[in-house]
Chains A and B, each alone.
Chain A
Amino acid sequence: MPAKKLNLRKRYELLTRGMGWETTHHDMDDVFPYDSFEGIKITDWDKWEDPFRLTMDAYWKFQAEKEKKLYAVIDSFAQNNGQTNLSDASYLSAIKLFITGVTPIEYAAHRGFAHLGRHFRGDGARVACQMQAIDELRHQQTQVHTISHYNKHFNGLHDPFYQFDRVWYLSVPKSFAEDAMTAGPFEFITSISFAFEYVLTNMLFVPFMSGAAYNGDMATVTFGFSAQSDESRHMTLGLEIIKFMLEQHEDNLPIVQRWMDKHFWRAYRLLALVSAMQDYMLTNSPLSWKEAWDVYFVENGGALFEDLSRYGLRMPKYHELATAEADHLSHQVWSVFCLLGNATGFHTFLPTEEKMDWLSEKYPDTFDKYYRPRFEHWAKQKEEGTFKYLEALPQLCQVCQIPMIFTEVETDPMQLSFRASEYKGDKYNTCSDGCKDIFDHEPEKYAQAWLPVHQIFQGNCGGATIPEVLEWYKFAPEDGGDYIGSQDHARWQEWKGTDKKVKEA
């Protein structure tokens, strides 16, 4: 038996507080130049405490254990041709969107937290950020390792990082991550750890990983849950940093509230992509977007903000609109992907009859009334051979960078929502009050946005025609378009010897 162990609190103190010191050769403000310009006032960094009291030595031990378990599953998945146990190969569109849209955000978060792990003055906060920096790198790596197995058998998984910096719909997650990374450290951590990880990450990982389990994708379940165990620690860090800022000085409240409002909306808009993954791309969905929103945001987020109300923090602005949009979001997003399916790196497909009935059941107030007609119209056109992809490019929101497909759900769900601002004599279009507020507060930041449609028209994306742009994206001709009739589809039929959907038709 080892010598008597120190208690957790004592160990934590020694291994964090004991690792830092007041500098004497250089002024502390020169050593930590970034943690004061945002206006957040910290009077006592020692009040910072990690509720998990995780120290680096324990961190390595547990992370090593998680990795061993994960890689054992990945190996066995590959050896046993686990890809053949999927519910359907069309499910992989969700994985293609994940590896191109989410995995690079993990890497961006790694970079951001590595910066914070150096630049926060408090040693407790620095250690927590260092661990998170390593976690995020681990997530990116394990996702690449896991999904690389699918890359051996399916199209569209070959260049996620290259594409992240170029592709029209990937500018949505990219701009979200870079918005946070180009802010100061306190705003970054409010954005990533609190608004994204605490308030909204459950919407991404929990239903999605449970969805992977529901669709026979054991590889994704495993990396997802392995990452999620770190995520719980990140969420706790997010809540802790908010409480810490609010407890340190009353002047911090309005700053934190504004960041909360902004980054809640930014993160929520990013999750519009996830809503489509959840409701449409998963062959079998365990939980609809709306159900997940009700459980993880309305109920759970409500409890969180009630708890934080003692500091004067209120629910993020426009949360009511986000809740009202829950009945519409996934349908609007999947519609535009289907219309631009000739320019996606994953396959699109119309919902089957079975799926539409499920959507009617989950969205009794909206699906049949507003959305079923378009899918039925397109299905009829496909049958007749008259379906056409959009020939023009859509208007983009200056802030979230999503095509401006959102509608006035509270007053007229079939009316597009248009907002605009002026800055230095130019016009800037936004999709919602949430995005417009963000633009109006920092117009000089968002005037710099690299909007894919505008960049194509400026001649910066390989050419003026769709094939030229797709080549510049490194989208191979077989990566996008309809799932039915694709190489992925043919391969799947070959393995299965039959095809459920074709048989039904």
Chain B
Amino acid sequence: MAATFGNDGRFHRQLIMVNGLLPMVLMGFDAWRGKLGVNPAEFVTRATGVMTLVFLVLTLLVTPLRKTLGWNWLLKQRRLLGLFAFFYCCGHLLTYLAFDRDWQLGTVYEDVVKRRFIAVGMFSFALMVPLAVTSTNAMIKKLGGPRWAQLHRLTYYITIGGVLHYYMIVKSDATYPLWFAVMVAVLLGYRVVASLKKGKEREAVGVVK
């Protein structure tokens, strides 16, 4: 049974597609029936931002889950999770341009320079673009596996930037950004510990030889 589930890539893909799009669909439905709350602009801006962070955290969750639970099938779906993060981040950027900038695109540069949290957010978004562009099979082949993997480690910095961006805009109650910070710290901490262990094992093997 487990083996069957683990091999069913099409099923995983559909599952992630539907669940990833569902919040977007529900938001659209709520917008259509006028149920996005008293300040829809604020809600949509925050929701798309949070969804970006959720998908970034999910992409970072793939490696620990593979290594600890052996869920190797997740690896095939990681690029899709990352693309969802990019998708919601584009939505987040659009809400900023529409509601915060009133489509006065000329004022964006000035705003980035003036407001540090906007600069941090924009920087993280800019780092996402090359990752989205290189997310195809052809690009992996072109770049070669190791180089591609190295490039996509930018995800670490993107996620840290995203959480920082969230923390910087909060007025006083930092509960949600701190939750994200803890999750990201655990997921990145896992990698640090894993690489330290690997280093030691290599050393040990070296000594025996």
A and B co-occur in one complex? no
> Interface on A for B, CB 8 Å cutoff?
none
> Interface on B for A, CB 8 Å cutoff?
none
